[in-house]
Structure 1
Amino acid sequence: MTKAKWLLIFLFVMDLGLTSMHLSGYFFLFLKPTGYLIPLVINIIVLFFVNKKLWVGLGLIVGIPALFIHGFMVLFMDYDYTKIDSPSHKQSLVIEYRHVTLGETTYFYHFYKTRFGVIGRLLDNQSVEFMVRGPEYPVEEGAEAALGAHNPTWVSKDIVRFNSWKGAKDVYLASSSSSVSTKEIENFILKANSNSDGEAITIDGNDFITRYDKKTGQRWIDVVSAGDEGLIPRQQCSRIVRNEERGYYMLEECTHQWEYKLYPLTDGQ
């Protein structure tokens, strides 16, 4: 097999791999700051060596404008990156962020789960965007400070909580951690309020079970988890309520403390 064919095979495998990764939400993290600029340059160089006469003209006509357009897009988006390691150092969360100031400042955040810091998976439907006015928050503090990225809390091995300027934000690194929907929680609340007994729902490693005593007319919710490894200690609580101001479903009037943040009011936020 000639060198040209080997180069074309290499190019095909590289492009196919990058395309497949992109479609499945995976990315080489070291490519994120410049997008696909490096693979694009590699394509032009390889094709040039395969057939110089054909690709010199094509490279000038197509490749160079594509590089300029791509470079402009990367410059316009202007994302920065920071990485947060879990306490066990078994996985990390990479935050892609930027801000735009037009009278008000809008902050944008995307999150990627990574184990070794090379390949990251985009956490779908967990991106954050919020706008603040200049007097409300000092822009010079930066996007990381606005999110609370300097002091995150690993509430479990798969959940990171940020105390952002706009309130608490939980990021779920495992799909199983966020498998419950707000609709399911609302249905569970309705059942609990209708004095159902034995209805159950699992949220972030904890099982919540409705209880009702007909003799006393009392109702409550049992909180349990396998091996007592859930986010909330084993105990009994009175109810789950929506707290619009805090943006969370709250577990209230519990044995160990008055309330716990249970789950964001909006799925994936």
Structure 2
Amino acid sequence: MSLTKRVLILLGSVDALLIIMSLMDYYILFLKPTGFVFPMLLNIIVLAVIGFRSRFHKGWTIAFLTVSIPALLIHSVMVWLMENQYATIESPENKSVTIEYRSFTLGETTYLYEFYKTSFGFIGKHLDDQTIKLIIQGKDHPTGLGAEDALGLGTAEWITDDTVRFSTWQGIKELSLNSSRSSGRTEDITSDIESFMTKLESKESGDTINVNGNRLVAHYDEATDQPWIEITADNDEGAIPRQQCTRIVRDEERGYYLLEECTHRWEYPLYPLNDS
């Protein structure tokens, strides 16, 4: 097999790998800031060299360059105009998430955050159902507030091995690295919480739910005529420390179910509302 064929096979394999990864929402993270600029440039250079070395295909090579170079320039300009920025946060368990974010202003400022679950330090799985979008009206936008501050990036908290909690400008939001928890699974959890709240108000004992690594058990004290919640977790590794709370409430403004009147402090964020 000639050197030219080997190079073409290698180039085709790399291209196929990148396409398959993209279709599966996997990305090589160090290529994300430049989109497909470097793979496109590599293809143009290699094919141009091979074309010009061939005595029969120089015309086709010139035609190829006439089309591909403008396409590369247009793609480069589009990547530049997007002005995406990146940050990475790591968990104590050596897991990490790369955040791709940008903002644009048109009477109001919109901050858009995309998240990538990192594997092997350089491959990211796009969590397409975990996008966070924050819109702040111009009159409400604080001076100096940037995209990282709006997300609360500096105070991000790993509440479980697979869940990150952000104290954003518009309330608390959670990111799940396990995308199966989204959509239907989220609806299941919120439905469980609503049912638990109903039974607690009805003074029923024994109902149990599990949320973010915590086990919540409903109890009723006949002597005081008061329901209460026992909070536990395996190896005390849940998002909320072991203790007792009085009730769960829906906080529409903050977009969260809150545990209130707890042993260690007044309230704890438990889980996002379905529409938050």
- Identify the TM-score tier after normalising by the shorter chain: 0.7 to 0.9
**5+ residue gaps in structure 1?**
none
Length, aligned pairs only: 267
SS at match of 2:42: helix
Residue in 2 that maps onto 1:172: 176
TM-score under structure 2 length normalisation: 0.84
1:111 equivalent in alignment to 2:115: yes
Q: 1:78 aligns with which of 83, 100, 124?
A: 83
Summarize the Cα distance change of 1:192–1:5 in structure 2 as closer, same or farther, 3 Å threshold: farther
Residue in 1 that maps onto 2:45: 45
Summarize the Cα distance change of 1:128–1:139 in structure 2 as closer, same or farther, 3 Å threshold: farther
Summarize the Cα distance change of 1:45–1:234 in structure 2 as closer, same or farther, 3 Å threshold: same
| Higher mean displacement: 100-109 or 111-120 | 111-120
Residue in 1 that maps onto 2:248: 240
1:200 equivalent in alignment to 2:186: no
Quote the offset at 1:212 in angstroms. Answer: 4.3
Distance (whole Å) between structure 2 residues aligned to residue 209 and residue 76 of structure 1: 52
Quote the offset at 1:215 in angstroms. Answer: 8.4
Quote the offset at 1:142 in angstroms. Answer: 2.0
Residue in 2 that maps onto 1:36: 36
Q: 1:120 aligns with which of 115, 121, 124?
A: 124
Q: 1:152 aligns with which of 150, 153, 156?
A: 156
Contact 1:158–1:172 under 8 Å retained in 2: yes
Contact 2:44–2:65 under 8 Å retained in 1: no
Residue in 1 that maps onto 2:272: 264
Corresponding letter in the other structure for 1:18: L
Distance (whole Å) between structure 1 residues aligned to residue 134 and residue 194 of structure 2: 26
Summarize the Cα distance change of 1:16–1:258 in structure 2 as closer, same or farther, 3 Å threshold: same
Quote the offset at 1:139 in angstroms. Answer: 5.3
Distance (whole Å) between structure 2 residues aligned to residue 214 and residue 8 of structure 1: 79
Corresponding letter in the other structure for 1:9: I
Contact 1:159–1:177 under 8 Å retained in 2: no
Distance (whole Å) between structure 1 residues aligned to residue 193 and residue 51 of structure 2: 61
Q: 1:161 aligns with which of 162, 165, 174?
A: 165
| Residues 46-101 of structure 1 deviation map (CA, whole Å, 9 limit, x = unaligned) | 3334444265144234312321221232122110112223345x122222111111
Contact 2:160–2:213 under 8 Å retained in 1: no
Quote the offset at 1:204 in angstroms. Answer: 0.7
| Residues 101-146 of structure 1 deviation map (CA, whole Å, 9 limit, x = unaligned) | 1122111111222255411222232211112133422454321122
Contact 1:205–1:225 under 8 Å retained in 2: yes
| Higher mean displacement: 140-149 or 222-231 | 140-149
Distance (whole Å) between structure 2 residues aligned to residue 58 and residue 41 of structure 1: 16
Distance (whole Å) between structure 2 residues aligned to residue 214 and residue 65 of structure 1: 78
The percent of aligned pairs where both chains have the same amino acid is 49
1:100 equivalent in alignment to 2:108: no
Corresponding letter in the other structure for 1:82: A
CA RMSD of superposed structures (Å): 2.7
SS at match of 1:141: coil
SS at match of 1:169: strand
TM-score under structure 1 length normalisation: 0.86
**5+ residue gaps in structure 2?**
none
Corresponding letter in the other structure for 2:145: E
